[in-house]
Amino acid sequence: RNFAATERAKMVEFLQDCEVAILDAQYTDEEYAGHIGWGHSPFSSVVGLALDANVKRVLLFHHDPSHDDDMIDRMVEQARELVRKSGKAMVIEGAREGAEILLEAESPAVARTHRN
C-alpha cells in the first residue's frame, strides 16, 4: 500500500499544473475489478490523479477494443461528471485517431483534427 501511495504521489508531482495530460483510461471501475495488474487504469482513477495534480485538460486514451463509440462517450461523460462533482475546472475529452494538439506558450492548448 505504501509503495502504491508513493508512486501515485510521484505521478501527481510529475503532472502538477500541466496543460494537457493524455492518460490511459481503458476500463470502467466494474471492468477494472477483473483486470487488476494488467497495466491499465479505470477512468475514475485517472480523473482523481489529474484533479490532484491540477491538470487543465485530460485526454482519455487506450480505449478498450470491446468498447464502441457510444461506450467511450459514456465513459467520457462519467469522467466529466466526476470533475463537476469535484468543483474544479478541468476539460475531459476522449482521445481520437487523427487528432492533433497544438501547444502554444501564450494560449491554452487547442485540439484540431488532422486532415490529409
pLDDT by position in tens, the chain (length 116)? 688 889 989 999 999 999 999 998 877 777 766 677 766 788 888 999 999 999 999 999 887 787 788 888 999 999 999 999 999 999 999 988 898 888 777 655 555 555 44
Range of the domain at 52: 2-113
Q: Which 3 state secondary structure label does DSSP give 76?
A: helix
pTM for the whole thing?
0.79
What is the domain count for the chain?
Answer: 1
The CATH number of residue 58's host domain is 3.60.15.10
Query: In this structure, how many other beta carbons lie within 10 angstroms of the beta carbon of residue 26?
Result: 22
Q: Which 3 state secondary structure label does DSSP give 100?
A: strand
